[in-house]
Amino acid sequence: MRDVAIVSFAQSNVAVEDRNEIEMLLPVAKEAIEGSGLARDEIDFTCSGSSDWLQGQPFAFVMALDAVGSWPPIKESHVEQDGAWALYEAWVKIQTGEVGSALIYSFGKTSPGDIAQVQALQLDPYCGQPLWPDLDSLSGIQARSCLEAGVVTEKQMAEVACQALRNAQSNPHAVRKGDYTVEELLAKPYRVSPLRDHDCPANSDGVTVMVVVAGDRAKQLCDRPVWIRGFDHRIDPPALGVRDLTRIPSAALAAEKAGAADDKLDFVEITAPYSHQELILRKEFGLADDVQVNPSGGSLAAHTLMSCGLNRIGDAAVRIAAGGGDRALAHAGQGPCLQQNLAVVLEGD
């Protein structure tokens, strides 16, 4: 395996973005590239993650390339997934030896459309999508399964939200934050019972950019490279009725294959758009009680679809680089009831 380090990271999340994809992405890409110490033409490969359905602009993913400089032609690829999967593709390409560095970016702009309807399009198009269930409802079904099985309580869900919103107060990229008590949150009305507003993701528009570099070059570029020590992604069956919704086996397997349990974790950054999903994931990852979860606030504080997973990885890397820990698990999750899961283990030098 080639050692690959995250050498630079930048993000932007706002509640509603007025600029087009190029205009939102360009300044953040510039910040990340300048932060990497590499010149633009020293970056071997570019890989992005986005979905044009979100803002309703066909081929926005192609247009966005203008923002990172696409002429003369560059070597690039795109996944219709969270940018975390674009990072995976770049990491694999580096493992093949074909390239030694990569720029990864993702963007999500959900404010122009009806995110609930757009997300229904990811369901089984024969029997699921035509009923137009929104993700709040499907996640509500999952949450109630967990409540019924005694896997979570509404109080624990509120505790997760309290902690996330408190952590978010020190995250300049959070769009929802605050200091609440569990009692205050539990007194709020349901949005889609058993979920309240704070149990649901804080949708935002934004972009994320990361630069990764292999081997010694990474050591030259930064004081404390943050190394990718393990990387894996897995998927659960698409039919909700087939899954045990109190479990997310694909997340557990991805973390295991990435080697999360091989050594002590100082903290984790995970993608749990709904509060009960954080509680499920803690169990799936076998986290000790003293492991801090989502110092960033996670998706309850800012949830830029297609970017939030890459944000978790970047947030973890920035924290390690700054000395806020030596070893962390970062996780990205996508799909109804977190069907698709990706885990990456990061270590500081």
Partner 1 sequence: MSEAYDQEALRGPHVIEYPFRRSCGPVLSRFFSGLRDGKLVGIRSQTAGVLVPPAEYDPQTAEALEEFVDVGPAGEVVSYAWVSSPRPKQPLQRPFAYALIKLDGADAGFLHAVDVGGDEASIAIGTRVAPRWKAERVGHITDIECFVPESEAQPAPPLTEPVEEPVKSVTTPIRLEYDFRAGKAQSVFLRGLAEKKILGAKAIGGDLVYVPPRGADPRNAELTPEFVEVADTGTVVTYSIVRVPSDNISFDLPYVCINVLLDGSHIPFFHVLQDCPLGEERIGMRVKAKWAPDDQLTTSVASIEYFEPLDEPDVPFDQIREYC
Residue closest to 38 by CA, chosen among 207, 215, 211: 211
Binding residue for partner 1, selected from 3, 14, 30, 186, defined by CB under 8 A: 30
Which 173-212 residues touch partner 1, going by CB under 8 A?
Answer: 190, 192-195
* Residue 148 within binding range of partner 1, rule CB under 8 A: yes
Cα separation of 245 and 132, whole Å?
A: 20
Q: Give min distance, CB of 250 to partner 1, in A.
A: 12
- Alpha-carbon distance values, 172 to 110, 287, 302, 315 (Å): 20, 27, 10, 12
Q: Give min distance, CB of 112 to partner 1, in A.
A: 5
CB closer to partner 1, 138 vs 329: 138
Q: Give min distance, CB of 145 to partner 1, in A.
A: 4
Cα separation of 178 and 266, whole Å?
A: 25
Residue closest to 207 by CA, chosen among 103, 81, 109: 109
In the beta sheet, which residues pair with residue 226? 6, 348
Contact yes or no for 255/284 (Cβ under 8 A): yes
* Residue 134 within binding range of partner 1, rule CB under 8 A: yes
* Residue 240 within binding range of partner 1, rule CB under 8 A: yes
* Pairing, β 205-214 against β 101-108: antiparallel
Q: Tell me the window of 77-85, 132-140, 269-277, 327-335 that interacts with partner 1 (CB under 8 A).
A: 132-140
Which 257-316 residues touch partner 1, going by CB under 8 A?
Answer: none
Q: Tell me the window of 108-116, 220-228, 277-285, 297-305 that interacts with partner 1 (CB under 8 A).
A: 108-116
In the beta sheet, which residues pair with residue 341? 234, 333
Q: Which residues here bind partner 1, judged by CB under 8 A?
A: 17-23, 26-27, 29-30, 40, 53, 55-57, 63, 65-71, 111-114, 116-118, 121, 125-134, 136-145, 148, 190, 192-195, 237, 239-242, 245
